Copies of this chain bind each other. A is one copy, B any other.
Amino acid sequence: MVSTLKNLAALIIDMDGVLWQDNEPLPGLIEFFELLRKRNIRFVLATNNASRTPEQFQDKLLGMGVSVTREEVLTSSQATALYLKDIAKPGASVFVIGEEGLKQPLREMGFEITTGSSDYVVCGMDRGLSWEKLAQATLNIRAGAKFLGTNPDTTYPTERGIVHGNGAVLAALKTASDVEPIIIGKPEPIMYQQAMLRLGTNKENTIALGDRLETDILGAKRAGIASIIVLTGISTCADLEKVDYQPEWVLEGLPEVIKALQS
């Protein structure tokens, strides 16, 4: 595990609450990416958000003055498709509760997306969720389809307030089928492991950077890598005292991360 920020080869970075809040870039955003490019620190932007495509995140960052490649973005939907490619037969059928952000990577991996019975049921955020989709997913899981969830977030922040997240829909399907889903997103370690594989780095020279203790930081612990928490998002200083795991570094925001990387 990394013990200083000196010989850092790569960062795995959460986006919402670290790089921006809703649609507002956080202070230091442009300087942060300039430093990463200058110091040749590789990175993957890893998010539990399952509804958007990598291109949509590229566009959002570009609108804030930061250019990243498609390879530098990893969504929990992509991670789910990648995981499924490892365990499933080529061309296996998948029943999807999810939006384009989930369907696109599954199609790219060669899976057949079906509306009937299926080998797999994959569930991510879906603003087109219906009784019928829940019913078909339940039928398929009860008939033996393997059950995967992109991410376990129980809530989802919107402009109207906090609504149900994908973890709530997973709870419904679990209750109806009596089957636990395999969950891909943070705090499971799978996304961090996939990001390191993509970066060609390892636990010894990679650090996680996030704003949420129970996903970003706990996921880093489970993946065996060091982590930095910034306090510009969900978790607060007070929250740190409530959990029995701790990030290696606690920093106010991106300007402090920049300073720490330069020192």
Which of A139, A154, A171, A172 counts the most chain B CB atoms within 10 A? Answer: A172
Q: Report the separation of the CA atoms of residues A252 and B167 in the bound assembly, to the nearest whole angstrom.
A: 43
Contacts of A132 in B (CB 8 A): 127
**Contact of A183 with B by CB under 8 A:** no
CB contact list, A33-61 vs B, under 8 A: none
User: Which residue from chain B places its CB closest to the CB of A163 in the assembled complex?
Assistant: B135
**Contact of A112 with B by CB under 8 A:** no
**Contact of A142 with B by CB under 8 A:** yes
* Stretch from A173-181, A208-216, A217-225, A234-242 that touches the partner: A173-181
Give per-residue flags for A161-200: 1 if the beta carbon is below 8 A from chain B beta carbons, else 0.
1111101110111111000000000000000000000000
Tell whether, in the assembled complex, residue B161 and residue A176 are in contact, meaning their CB atoms are under 8 Å apart: no
Q: Which of B138, B139, B172 contacts A172 (CB 8 A)?
A: B172
**Contact of A119 with B by CB under 8 A:** no
User: Which residue from chain B places its CB closest to the CB of A164 in the assembled complex?
Assistant: B176
User: Which residue from chain B places its CB closest to the CB of A129 in the assembled complex?
Assistant: B131
User: Which residue from chain B places its CB closest to the CB of A143 in the assembled complex?
Assistant: B161
Q: Beyond A164-B173, A176-B165, is A126–B131 a contact (Cβ under 8 Å)?
A: yes
**Contact of A89 with B by CB under 8 A:** no
Give per-residue flags for A49-90: 1 if the beta carbon is below 8 A from chain B beta carbons, else 0.
000000000000000000000000000000000000000000
Tell whether, in the assembled complex, residue A172 and residue B168 are in contact, meaning their CB atoms are under 8 Å apart: yes
Give per-residue flags for A129-155: 1 if the beta carbon is below 8 A from chain B beta carbons, else 0.
111101100110011000000000011
Q: Which of B130, B162, B165, B172 contacts A171 (CB 8 A)?
A: B172
Tell whether, in the assembled complex, residue B127 and residue A131 are in contact, meaning their CB atoms are under 8 Å apart: yes
**Contact of A263 with B by CB under 8 A:** no
| CB-defined A-B contacts under 8 Å, sample of 21 | A127-B131, A129-B129, A129-B130, A129-B134, A134-B164, A135-B163, A138-B155, A138-B163, A139-B160, A139-B162, A139-B163, A142-B161, A154-B176, A155-B176, A163-B176, A164-B175, A165-B176, A167-B176, A171-B171, A171-B175, A172-B172
